[in-house]
Chains A and B, each alone.
Chain A
């Protein structure tokens, strides 16, 4: 087994989820590290809180639902090869479904669209049926998938850049629908509250698993609110990752990849093109709906403007920086893209403390940062003041755009491609090829 790990004697071995022992070990070690990171201070009390404390668990939890949505985007763009800039629209559909079914609201009447005009209620009510999560979470995915199937007649016909623009149009139509239907979406700017991630059996007062307060889980381990949400979303991400991997290596996945590689050739070989494109859209939208519902519920509050073009561009960046068409790449890309802002912010804070430091470091810090009037430097430390020395928040957008360009020019396969290069170098070592 260790002698020739690449020798495959059956199709089962070739299609295995983790073909080599190294991959199994690496994954196990990684999962252990992630779980330990989540446990952090509640178990390892001797660790410094800046390393594994509340500073990092929130950004990391935030990216878990986005990773689920990104897996769906990978199925559509990476595996099926259909370029979309409309993923945030489907996330919005899922999130609205979740809040309509799971949120607290003003009863069934409020769920009729345009009830104001129909005269059903005196004032604008909000739709929310207060169902538990095991209803609203699958419903969010299914609803998004249905919407995906509904728009697919337009989407399967057009190709390439035309498809990208069509899906971009969906984002704007979605934003407008959010403004039109405040009974689902809440106020256009401030939004509304989403249901919490509590696991309930029905509408009982004390949920089966409490997510919004610190406490003991299963009477075993004391966890904070953040840690509970982290582990719950992590478990869901693992489930959906396995599901995505299984879809990709099944008959459906092979058909999708055949369409990506050459659609006419796929059709000649008996893969119905429109049918599988529709399946690709439905799968991708399903993931987007689940991801959107979980993300909005984790944030607790979301508004229609959250499902905008920038969120959709985020997913393109995730796929390109991580590596198109691979699950590992998608997850790597999500972590990379979503954590850059936090890393840059932490770095700037650290740099701000170094302005009085020894010459080389102190000079760099003074050169980059602006503190108050009359100081030259592109980064302003005051987060609220707009104007030329831009805040870190604004610079993050610049860095993010430049990263997309750099990765596309120099490493089109993304982080996954870099990993492959490193791996191949060591595999062949000491020979260069």
Chain B
């Protein structure tokens, strides 16, 4: 009987840990997916450059708090938290600065590459961002991030214990950050500017005729989207996601591509869809990784990274515009 209880307790612990991991991964997916959705809703561009933008943000933070330097500048970072015992407030200040830099990065990309393309087909705009991704990637991978850089998170890899289950602080932090970001996005869509953005998403010309500054809406969508993408990549660099807590050359460049099934599942233009999609896809990925691991040799190692795409394919067979996406009205 005691063995059965122990097994049951063990199963319960595993379940709680898996659930927390799924929620944490879901939070990362939600952050990046919201970045995709805001940009798509505002400007009708599927931002394939999100991978490069988000990794650039994560590397900037790693340079500022891990190396104590400044990106592009040969000076020391005056606000750098100490390496051994990083101060939470200083770390958060650095985080906010990096998010502003990432937003600025998004603005520059929008101004240079997206603004001249207004009115072009969706595919052309998406491929432009693909070109930007290809162009920025070498800087991320080769020029700055030759070695894996630590993010020097104040709470490190610490964990709380709950009924025998290990709950890393980073996972809780990811959930809190995603909740805050989600709330900010919801509030933003209710603000004057957010209503303007929804109007632009509905009909650019009509919005312009009502006196909405479409260019400003574009810029804000890209700034917000880039900052959210960078935030997602930074959260994914906290300790237990990659065990060492660093910006990694292997997992960070493809992080945004792993989020594509999420936004397809939720619908490209639905913010609530991004939230549900993130939770569904992350749960499928994490639970499959945990509970199907006995068939590892048949499924192949690392099969859990494929689960999102398989789920996406199955959902699209039934609902071609995702679960919450707006179906395109087709006219001759």
| CB closest residue in chain B, given A157 | B320
State A405–B139 Cα separation when bound (angstroms): 17
Residue among B257, B301, B331 making CB contact with A309, cutoff 8 Å: B257
Chain A contact residue count (CB 8 A cutoff) = 53
Tell me the residues in window 238-264 of chain B with beta carbons closer than 8 Å to chain A beta carbons: 257, 260-261, 263-264
| Distance A324 CA – B331 CA, assembled complex (angstroms) | 24
Report the separation of the CA atoms of residues A373 and B45 in the bound assembly, to the nearest whole angstrom: 43
Size range of the chain B interface in the assembly: 35 or more
CB distance from B87 to the nearest CB of A (A): 30
Nearest-Cβ distance from residue A162 to partner chain B, whole angstroms: 6
Q: Complex: how many Å from CA A405 to CA B303?
A: 34
Partner of A161, one of B46, B116, B134, B146: B46
Say whether B78 faces chain A, with CB atoms less than 8 Å apart: no
Query: Assuming the A-B contacts A154-B313, A390-B143, are A173 and B122 also in contact, with contact meaning beta carbons closer than 8 angstroms in the complex?
Result: no
A367 at interface (Cβ–Cβ under 8 A)? no
Chain A neighbourhood of B211, CB < 8 A: none
Q: Are A176 and B316 in touch, CB under 8 angstroms?
A: no
Q: Is A408 an interface residue (CB 8 A)?
A: yes
Tell me the bound Cα distance from A395 to B134 in angstroms.
11
Is the beta-carbon distance between A402 and B260 smaller than 8 angstroms? no
Residue pair A401, B135 in contact (C-beta under 8 Å):
yes
Q: Are A166 and B264 in contact (CB under 8 A)?
A: yes
The segment out of A13-21, A261-269, A279-287, A294-302 that lies at the interface is A261-269
With a cutoff of 8 Å between Cβ atoms, the chain B residues found around residue A309 in the complex are 257
- Give which listed residue, A161, A388, A402, contacts B135 with CB less than 8 A: A402
Q: How far is the CA of A179 from the CA of B120 in the complex (A)?
A: 39
Flag if A180 contacts B124 (CB, 8 Å): no
Kindly report which residue of chain A lies nearest to residue B263, judged by CB atoms: A165
Q: Is B128 close to A, CB under 8 A?
A: yes
0 or 1 for each of A166-190: is its CB under 8 Å from B? (1 = yes): 1011101100110110000000000
Provide the residues of chain A in CB contact with B317, threshold 8 Å: 153-154, 157
Cβ contact of A158, chosen from B127, B134, B309, B320, cutoff 8 A: B320
**Residues from 288 to 318 in B contacting A, C-beta threshold 8 Å:** 297-303, 305-306, 309-310, 312-313, 316-317
Q: Which residues of B contact A400 (CB under 8 A)?
A: 134-135
A358 partner residues in chain B, CB cutoff 8 A: none
> In the complex, what distance in Å separates the CA atom of A403 from the CA atom of B131?
8
Residues of chain A within 8 A of B312, CB atoms compared: 165-166, 169
Asked if B198 is at the interface of the complex by the 8 Å CB criterion, the answer is: no
Does A7 lie at the interface of the complex (its beta carbon under 8 Å from any beta carbon of B)?
no
Evaluate contact between A165 and B298: CB separation under 8 angstroms: no
User: Any chain B CB within 8 A of the CB of A316?
Assistant: yes
Complex CA gap A388/B138 in Å reads 10
Write the nearest CB–CB distance from A149 to chain B, whole angstroms: 15
A116 to B299, CA, bound (A): 13
A-B contact number at CB 8 A: 143
A412–B332 alpha-carbon span in the complex (Å) = 25
Let me know if A26 is at the binding interface, CB within 8 A: no
By a CB distance below 8 angstroms, the chain A residues around B135 are: 397-398, 400-402, 405
The residue that B321 contacts in the complex, of A162, A388, A398, A409, with Cβ under 8 A, is A162
Cβ-neighbour of B316 out of A162, A173, A397, A404 (below 8 A): A162
Q: B331 touching A401 by the CB < 8 A rule? A: no
Inter-subunit contact A160/B134 (CB<8 Å): no
Query: Is B133 a contact partner of A176 (Cβ separation < 8 A)?
Result: no
Assess the A390–B138 pair: CB atoms within 8 A: yes
Residue ID in chain B nearest A164 by CB atoms: B126
Say whether B203 faces chain A, with CB atoms less than 8 Å apart: no
**Given A168-B257, A395-B138, A401-B135, A316–B130 Cβ distance below 8 Å?**
yes
Q: Does B163 belong to the interface (CB within 8 Å)?
A: no
- Among the listed B136, B320, B322, B332, which residue makes an inter-chain contact with A265, where contact means beta carbons less than 8 Å apart? B332
Interface residues of A in 373-424 (CB under 8 A from B): 386-388, 390-391, 394-395, 397-398, 400-405, 408-409, 412
Contact at B298–A114, with CB atoms within 8 Å? yes
Interface assignment of B132: CB less than 8 Å from any CB of chain A? yes
Is B117 on the interface with A (CB-CB < 8 A)? yes
- Which residue, B46, B135, B297, has most C-beta atoms of chain A within 10 A? B135
A409 to B127, CA, bound (A): 11
Given contacts A166-B264, A166-B312, contact A179 B127 (CB under 8 A): no
Provide the residues of chain A in CB contact with B137, threshold 8 Å.
397, 401
A153, B317: Cα distance in complex, Å: 8
Q: Are B142 and A169 in contact (CB under 8 A)?
A: no
With A154-B317, A179-B301, A268-B332 as known contacts, state yes or no: A408 contacts B117, CB within 8 Å. yes
A8 within 8 A of B: no
**Which of B46, B131, B306 touches A405 (beta carbons < 8 Å)?**
B131
Instruction: Please pick, from A154, A157, A386, the residue contacting B146 in the complex, using a CB distance under 8 A.
Output: A386
Q: Does B330 contact A (CB under 8 A)?
A: yes
- Quick check: A179 and B300 within 8 Å, CB to CB? yes
Name the contact of B134 in the complex, choosing from A153, A179, A268, A404 (C-beta under 8 A): A404
Partner of A401, one of B124, B136, B306: B136
Q: Does B113 have its Cβ within 8 Å of any Cβ on chain A?
A: yes
Taking a contact as CB atoms under 8 Å apart, the answer to whether B127 and A176 are in contact is: no
**A409 near B113: Cβ-Cβ < 8 Å:** yes
Contacts of A169 in B (CB 8 A): 260-261, 309, 312-313
Structural contact, A320 and B127, CB atoms closer than 8 A: yes
A204: shortest Cβ distance to chain B, in Å?
Answer: 38
Chain A positions within 8 Å of B321 at CB level: 158, 162
Question: Closest B-chain residue to A178, C-beta based?
Answer: B300
Whether A405 lies near B128 (C-beta < 8 A) is yes
Contact between A405 and B313, CB atoms less than 8 A apart: no
Task: Please list the residues of chain B having a beta carbon within 8 angstroms of any beta carbon in chain A.
Answer: 46, 113, 116-117, 120, 122-124, 126-128, 130-139, 142-144, 146, 257, 260-261, 263-264, 268, 297-303, 305-306, 309-310, 312-313, 316-317, 320-322, 328, 330-332
Give the top 6 A-B pairs by smallest Cβ distance, nearest first. A401-B135, A404-B131, A180-B300, A401-B134, A169-B309, A394-B138
Enumerate 24 A-B pairs (CB-CB under 8 Å) in ascending A order: A116-B297, A157-B317, A159-B328, A161-B123, A161-B268, A165-B261, A165-B264, A165-B312, A168-B260, A172-B306, A176-B302, A179-B301, A180-B303, A316-B130, A386-B142, A394-B138, A397-B137, A400-B134, A401-B136, A402-B131, A404-B128, A404-B131, A405-B113, A408-B127
